[in-house]
Structure 1
């Protein structure tokens, strides 16, 4: 699937894609070519590491295999995308382009990874999406710390790294409702795996139409 930043008319690549207001139409700043695209919502299943995203994701993919594409964000966390800028804009922009390309098949993406609105919303690639919805899995800090400390050694969860994640967890719990758009929270401290999967599945279905007609997405 063609990178949505690339004009199918002249082949120019836009650093800042231009989407016309209202209609899902992209316009090339170089040659003026206009083309329609599917502007679907992106669903971001976020939250700190250890809160349950990796536990929920596989079951969510199984249950909603005919409706959405569920992807793990960290699969692209490679050296070339580990920019040192706050928010990792190169990494985030790459994921928005990837999701937008998948959306052209008419199926929305559920992206599982640690991300918050200030890291997606200001990016030029944001124009490819109708809305970005955020659901964050969180947990009590002591529970989260135990979960992370129990992970295999190859995952390299040092004490400073755990403390950083606990700080993010507490910040998210305090600020979720004030973010724009607001982030919905679900606390997995005492939730079973089945409960967490049910909550996330319900959230996804709430944002999908009754039938998989791509034109009906909100």
Structure 2
């Protein structure tokens, strides 16, 4: 599903290029889940942004379902972000002017995959059935993150990219949200790449790797 090959990324500074990723190799099979760990500044979010097509690498390849992201035009990348992936963030990033129902439908409508029956099932499974007419500011943090999960999954993407999706939640709420996410992903054979600082959260995923000084280490050797 996802193949990252010899990926390099640096950022310009007054002192010269600052290397962030230095020859990353990573494989993730369809339906698998992987936790990407590492200290702040180790390049975790940079790698996630590259896979999402939000930034471009200096060299190397990112293949998703056999397609090289570097070979796509800006228009094709935009279509990839709409239809190929679901994004989940720590800060929810819900649209404050839209009710819960419309936030849930937002990504699926962009992808041309809005399915009212699937959205209704998601809302029920996520415990949002009685909250559909509320606005994000009227929800708790845990409820907002459930909406964010539903929005990411409503279009049935093949790949979900999650950046600290439970980082702002208390432990109990984090466990509940993670349970729902993993359950829904497993049922739909969706692939998950998650950035997390939490060993407890990472242990729930099938595989763990650590980014250190721009290089990847498997959990057993990190």
**What is the TM-score of this pair, normalised by structure 2?**
0.31
Higher strand share: 2
Q: Which has the higher contact order (CA 8 A, sep 6+)?
A: 2
Larger Rg: 1
**What is the TM-score of this pair, normalised by structure 1?**
0.31
